[in-house]
């Protein structure tokens, strides 16, 4: 099984431009496929492996009755992010935090009641951000772009008008935030470490913001690699992993990025073992970015590149 295959962002950028280059990472020097499964981020799965035609149907491999029964899953259905509804199975649905971080000595978190408060002109020049052309901000970017109350205009305001400084190293940009070089940060996922060290950083709590909460798949998608060397063993593993027993185990351990245990899309397993913030709450407003209508990142990447090009032209 291959996990986190494209965690290196430079490698992702290369493969995103040339999706067929997945072969560089799924095959050995003799050209033989070496991976059976991919488990990781849905955006990478879609943009690289699906578009690179590297996948076989995972739907046809689901045979365990309790896995096949869609009533056992969130929304009464299996979630696939690909248009054909058979290649990319999503098994996580975790309420996402805002993805926006702040220096607690410089920012009053009570000022924020909506995502639009993040692009108040007062914050111009006070942002640092993870590179928005990488997959690290994928779920959040989908939420912003496709949400009917936000959309492309919000992204233009955030990455254009706010004039953030971009960085690829999450630890470095988190350190900059903690040092007070910036007041706000997009994608400072190393903030938990910094906070436990007593540094003045925290994440903005968007639970009660006007636009609702992003429902993210995190690193929770799974696919079959075309030409897998051990297809039968892979099928056995997938059916166990998506079973009650497998998904209960999933909810007991940190996710792909070392963060708190994620919420499985299975609804017939105990949820009281999850951290409270990772549980779905009846009546809350959720926006599920794993819906296949929102899978395509191309228009988002195109918009961001246009914004960055416009910024460069204004410097000249």
275-286 pLDDT, tens digit each: 998 999 988 999
| Average pLDDT for 308-316 | 81
Q: What is the dihedral of CA 314, 186, 205, 261, to 10 degrees?
A: 160
User: Which residues, other chains included, contact 114 with Cβ-Cβ below 8 Å and sequence gap of 6+?
Assistant: 209, 210, 211
Instruction: Tokens for 31, please give them.
Output: 């050209």
> Is 60 exceeded by the pLDDT of residue 14?
no
Domains of the chain: 2-94+216-284 (3.40.190), 98-205+298-315 (3.40.190.10)
Q: What pLDDT digit, counting tens, does each position of 224-281 carry?
A: 999 999 999 999 999 999 999 999 999 998 766 667 899 999 999 999 999 998 999 9
**8-state DSSP, 313:** H
| Average pLDDT for 1-29 | 49
> Is 60 exceeded by the pLDDT of residue 49?
yes
Mean pLDDT is highest, among 94-98, 155-159, 171-175, for 155-159
Q: What pLDDT digit, counting tens, does each position of 154-164 carry?
A: 999 999 999 99
Q: 79: burial class by Cβ within 10 Å (0-12, 13-18, 19+)?
A: buried
The answer, as to whether pTM is greater than 0.95, is no
């Amino acid at each position: 099984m291959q996990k986190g295959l494209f965690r290196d962002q430079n490698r992702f950028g290369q493969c995103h431009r040339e999706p067929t280059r997945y072969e560089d990472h799924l095959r050995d020097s003799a050209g033989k496929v070496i991976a059976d499964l991919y488990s990781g981020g849905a955006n990478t799965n879609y943009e690289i492996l699906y578009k690179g035609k590297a996948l076989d149907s995972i739907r046809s491999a689901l045979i365990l009755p309790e896995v096949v029964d869609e009533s056992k899953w969130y929304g009464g259905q299996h979630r696939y992010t690909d248009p054909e509804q058979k290649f990319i199975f999503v098994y996580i649905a975790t309420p996402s935090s805002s993805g926006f971080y702040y220096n607690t000595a410089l920012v009053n978190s009570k000022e924020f009641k909506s995502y639009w408060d993040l692009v108040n002109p007062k914050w111009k020049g006070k942002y640092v951000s993870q590179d928005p052309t990488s997959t690290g901000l994928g779920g959040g970017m989908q939420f912003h772009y496709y949400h009917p109350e936000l959309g492309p205009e919000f992204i233009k305001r955030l990455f254009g008008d706010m004039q953030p400084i971009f960085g690829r190293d999450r630890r470095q940009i988190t350190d900059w935030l903690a040092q007070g070089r910036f007041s706000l940060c997009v994608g400072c996922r190393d903030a938990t470490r910094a906070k436990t060290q007593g540094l003045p950083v925290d994440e903005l709590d968007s639970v009660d913001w006007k636009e609702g909460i992003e429902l993210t798949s995190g690193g929770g998608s799974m696919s079959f690699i075309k030409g897998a060397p051990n297809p039968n063993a892979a099928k056995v593993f997938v059916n166990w992993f998506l079973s009650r027993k497998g998904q209960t185990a999933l909810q007991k351990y940190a996710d792909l990025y070392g963060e708190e245990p994620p919420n499985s899309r299975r609804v017939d397993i105990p949820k009281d073992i999850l951290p409270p913030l990772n549980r779905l709450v009846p009546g809350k407003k959720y926006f599920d970015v794993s819906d296949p209508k929102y899978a395509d990142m191309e228009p988002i990447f195109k918009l961001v590149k246009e914004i960055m090009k416009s910024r460069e032209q204004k410097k000249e």
